[in-house]
Chains A and B, each alone.
Chain A
Amino acid sequence: MQDAQTERKLIERAGRGDQSAFEELLSAQEGRMYAVALRMCGNREDAQDCMQEAMIRIFRAIGTFKGQSSFATWVYRITMNSCLDELRRRKARTSTSLDAMIENGFAPTDENDTPERHSLQSEQRRMLEKAIAGLPEDMRAAIVLRDIQGCSYDEIAQVLETNVGTIKSRISRGRERLRAVLSQQPELFGRHMV
């Protein structure tokens, strides 16, 4: 992670068109961008496309970034918008609902085929990812940013361009839905689920 001063200098250089500065600057952000894109899109291919699209948008707009929010928040916002655009395009392309995709074996995960894949922990993880992918977009975005990425309410409100009250409501309803879905898998989540 770059310190604030290094980040500021890289932003200035990237804003003047320095491509190597841009790549260095965004290298520190690509992990969180990919994580958000993966959880929002549910598969590696679309996540890669969204991340690429977000990078191009950032590259085009980096010269206009004036520090009105933290750079990470700004990057999150553009990444999330790319993902939401992709989800809208996906909806327009096909009438297949996410539920139907999940029914047909759609499983949002980044794991490669490893021997551990079928372990209990991997199965729990897979079920959780599936449950998150099944959330409505607005709830999913809030849950991804809060419970996976660990963003603050204020930061999430800036990223999703809405108020903190709405964010809290989406997170609360999203968590409730996740509990409801996972409680239907007592063999995997039976420890506490009622």
Chain B
Amino acid sequence: MNMNCTTFRANLDAYIDSELDKKTRRAMEEHATACPECGALLNEAMDVVTRCAELNEGLTVPLECQAAWRRAVREEAEAKDKARARRRSKHRASRNAWVRALSAAAAVLVLVFAVGTQLGPNGLSGLTPALKNRGVDGGYSAPGAAMYEDHATPTYESADYDMMYASNAVTPISGAATSGVLLQSDGAADQTLSTAAKSDSGVVVLRSANRAISTKEFDADQMYIDDLVAEYEAYFESRRVTGNAEDANRLLKATIRVPSDSLDDFLTALDLRGVVTLREESAEDITANYNDVAARLEVLRTQLAPTR
């Protein structure tokens, strides 16, 4: 190989990482011997890398750190058990007719806001160009999308798949939340999640999150989402797959509702798959709408009572 200073420098890191073939390696070493400047550079580079490799020598995890993470995990496990117990308790309570009525009201709200989120600009506007590129227009030309035009648009290389999803979480009245998913074959998926909950102070907050995730394992990741939905007792509000297994541009788009207690865990688990190219979360105070619907429901119930 014709080695000069330029090619020597270009190959320097590959040499350090033992990525060169024998012939090129020998040429590098011969050049380093013949050229004092490149020889010094090689020594310098090797020196830095060697010193980096030695940094962990004698490094031990401090005892307080070892104890802290174990304590944190145990607390997390206890919190999880308590949350599970609370959910069971809520399920029992939901048998009560009055609670059932409230749940219905909350479900309506969740549905409305889930749709709003899904069609809204903060959810899917960033994905629209990619969908158009694939000829997949899901009708997400959201009103107000212009407000979000400066959002980074995910790039969807044909070899990848992208997923976008949004979630809303509120203090649970209905005990259930919703999310949506759009998945693109060898390419992309969109999700929208929502949950509604009422705090002790009476404030009802709706949280939403969007994700764009790209993967090269469309089928496996689609199954992963199915597993997640089952594990977290969530359900698909809507789900659409475009393209087929031979298509390099498959797309899954879905809306999923997740129990509000599990929303954060659901998001954590979801973010571990594929490459997340967009991550957005928001919260909205829907107390007024909730109270309005609850009041109207109460009026309707009162009107209905004499007819029974």
Whether B69 contacts A52 by the Cβ 8 Å rule is yes
Q: What residues make up the interface of B, taking CB atoms closer than 8 Å to A?
A: 12-13, 16-17, 37, 40-41, 43-45, 47-49, 51-56, 59-62, 64-66, 68-70, 72-74, 76-77, 217, 220, 224, 227-228, 231, 265, 268-269, 271-272, 275-276
A146, B73: Cα distance in complex, Å: 29
Q: CB < 8 Å: which of B45, B62, B72, B220 contacts A179?
A: B45
A143, B76: Cα distance in complex, Å: 33
A178 at the interface (CB under 8 A from B): yes
Whether A110 contacts B220 by the Cβ 8 Å rule is no
Whether B217 contacts A39 by the Cβ 8 Å rule is no
A169, B13: Cα distance in complex, Å: 10
Given contacts A55-B72, A175-B13, contact A194 B59 (CB under 8 A): no
Whether B65 contacts A128 by the Cβ 8 Å rule is no
A17, B78: Cα distance in complex, Å: 11
A153, B16: Cα distance in complex, Å: 13
A59, B72: Cα distance in complex, Å: 10
Chain B residue at minimal CB-CB distance from A125: B55
Which residues of chain B come closer than 8 Å to A147, judged between CB atoms?
48-49, 52-53
Minimum distance in angstroms from B24 CB to a CB of chain A: 16
A71 at the interface (CB under 8 A from B): no
Minimum distance in angstroms from B181 CB to a CB of chain A: 16
Q: Determine the main DSSP class of A at the interface with B.
A: helix
Q: CB < 8 Å: which of B13, B48, B62, B265 contacts A48?
A: B62
Name 30 interchain pairs, CB-CB below 8 A, sorted by A.
A19-B73, A22-B73, A30-B69, A34-B59, A38-B59, A39-B55, A47-B65, A52-B68, A55-B72, A55-B73, A56-B73, A59-B77, A61-B265, A61-B269, A64-B224, A64-B228, A66-B220, A78-B272, A128-B48, A147-B53, A148-B56, A149-B56, A161-B275, A171-B13, A175-B13, A175-B48, A178-B48, A192-B44, A193-B44, A194-B44
Given contacts A23-B73, A51-B69, A55-B69, contact A192 B224 (CB under 8 A): no
Chain B CB within 10 Å — which of A38, A44, A60, A146 has the most? Answer: A60
A7 at the interface (CB under 8 A from B): no
Whether A59 contacts B65 by the Cβ 8 Å rule is no
The 10 A-B residue pairs with the shortest CB-CB distance in the complex, in nearest-first order: A147-B52, A192-B43, A55-B69, A192-B44, A34-B61, A48-B65, A161-B275, A172-B13, A64-B269, A52-B69
Whether A194 contacts B41 by the Cβ 8 Å rule is yes
Chain B residue at minimal CB-CB distance from A38: B59
Chain A residue at minimal CB-CB distance from B276: A161
Whether A59 contacts B76 by the Cβ 8 Å rule is yes
Minimum distance in angstroms from B50 CB to a CB of chain A: 9
A37, B69: Cα distance in complex, Å: 13
A104 at the interface (CB under 8 A from B): no
Chain A residue at minimal CB-CB distance from B214: A161
Kindly list 8 other residue pairs between chains A and B, CB separation below 8 angstroms, not including A57-B268, A125-B54. A38-B59, A44-B65, A59-B73, A128-B55, A147-B48, A147-B49, A175-B49, A193-B44
Whether A64 contacts B231 by the Cβ 8 Å rule is yes
A129 at the interface (CB under 8 A from B): yes
